[in-house]
Structure 1
C-alpha cells in the first residue's frame, strides 16, 4: 500500500445548476448494485421522502433481508417477477410479468408521488428482450423533474447509460462464491 497525504483543500467547487431528479445507474459484474440502490432509498426515507422499490426478478412473495427491513421501516418494496431466469419454467410468462411490472413502475414514476423510484434488476428483462427499451427511455426522459430513478443490473443498455446522470460500474475483483463459499443469508439476500 502506498501512503498519500490527506487533502488540505476541497478539490471541487459547488455546481451552480438547479437541483432536479437524477437517473442513477448501478451496473457491472461486481457485487453491490442493489445494495447501493437500497442505500440511496434509505437516505431518501431518512429525509422523509417517499420511496418505492420495484424488483423485476424477485417474486411478489419474496422475504429476503431487504424485504423484512423495508417492511419494518415502511418503505414499499414489490417483487414483480417469477425468479431468476434459470428458475423460471416459462419465459413467456416471465416476459409478461416484466411488462406488467413495468406498467406499475412507469405509473409510479410518472405520477410524481415519489421522490425516488428504484428499478432493481431491470436490466435483465431488458437484455432478455422481455421488456422493450423504448418505453423505459421515454419514461426516464419525460418523468416529472423532481423524480429520481435508480436502475440496477448487469449489462445496462448503453442507451440508458447515455441518458443517465450518474453511472457506477461495480467491478468484480474477487468473489467468495468462486472459492466455493455458498451464498449466505444476511450478505446476499
Structure 2
C-alpha cells in the first residue's frame, strides 16, 4: 500500500470514528457483563478496576466464590485506600459440597453488594463470579436487576461468570464473551500463582 493510499484510508477511518464519538453524548455509569468459558473474566474486571483506581475513584469488590486462598490480585490491591474488598465465598462449590452453607454465603454477599449499589460514594463495583449464584439457584436475579436499575447514575458495575441470567443481559450496556480455545490445565499444567490465582 502506498503512503497516499494509507493516508486516504486513515482519513476516512478517522471521519467514521469522529462521527461515532460525536454521537456518544450520554454520561452515566455502565453495567458490564464478562461471561464465557475462557480464562480472563475476573482478570479483565480487575484491570478495569485498576484504571478506575488510577483516576482516584472509590471501588469495591465482592467475591462470591473465591475464598480458600488469597489471590494475587487481592494481595496486590488489599491495602489500597480507595478499595473495599469482600471475600464472601467458601471456595468452589465442588470443594465445599455444602449447599446450605453456599446459599447462606451467597445471600450474605448479596446484602453487602446491595448496600454498595445504594452508595453514591462508589464509582466501580466488581461482583466477581456472581453469575454462578443465579445458575445454581442461590440467588434470584430479579432483585439484583432492580438494584442495578436503581443504583446511582454514575456508578459502574462489572459482573463476571461463565453464564449470565437473561434478565441481566437485557439491561447490560456491554457484554463481552471470553472463549476457551485451549487451556494449559487440560494439557496437564498445574494451576500456578500469578496465572490462575
The TM-score, its normalising length taken from structure 1, stands at 0.92
Instruction: Please say if 1:17 is aligned against 2:25.
Output: yes
Give 1:28-177 correspondences, 5 Å limit. Answer: 28-59=36-67, 62-74=69-81, 75-177=83-185
CA deviation after TM superposition for structure 1 residue 145, in Å: 0.6
Q: Which runs of 5+ in 1 are unaligned?
A: none
Kindly indicate whether the alpha-carbon contact (under 8 Å) linking 1:81 and 1:94 is maintained by their aligned counterparts in 2: yes
2:186 to 171, 178, 185: 178
Aligned residue pairs: how many? 184
Kindly indicate whether the alpha-carbon contact (under 8 Å) linking 1:58 and 1:83 is maintained by their aligned counterparts in 2: yes
The TM-score, its normalising length taken from structure 2, stands at 0.88
CA deviation after TM superposition for structure 1 residue 89, in Å: 3.4
CA deviation after TM superposition for structure 1 residue 16, in Å: 3.6
CA RMSD across the alignment: 1.6
- Partner SS for 1:83: coil
CA deviation after TM superposition for structure 1 residue 73, in Å: 3.2
CA deviation after TM superposition for structure 1 residue 157, in Å: 1.2
When residues 111 and 73 of structure 1 are mapped into structure 2, their CA distance, relative to the original with a 3 A threshold, is: closer
When residues 16 and 67 of structure 1 are mapped into structure 2, their CA distance, relative to the original with a 3 A threshold, is: closer
- Partner SS for 2:86: strand
Q: Give the helix-richer structure, 1 or 2.
A: 2
CA deviation after TM superposition for structure 1 residue 167, in Å: 0.3
- 1:18-72, Cα deviation, whole Å (9 max, x unpaired): 210100010000111000100111000000000001100022x741101100124
- Partner SS for 2:96: coil
Kindly indicate whether the alpha-carbon contact (under 8 Å) linking 1:80 and 1:101 is maintained by their aligned counterparts in 2: yes
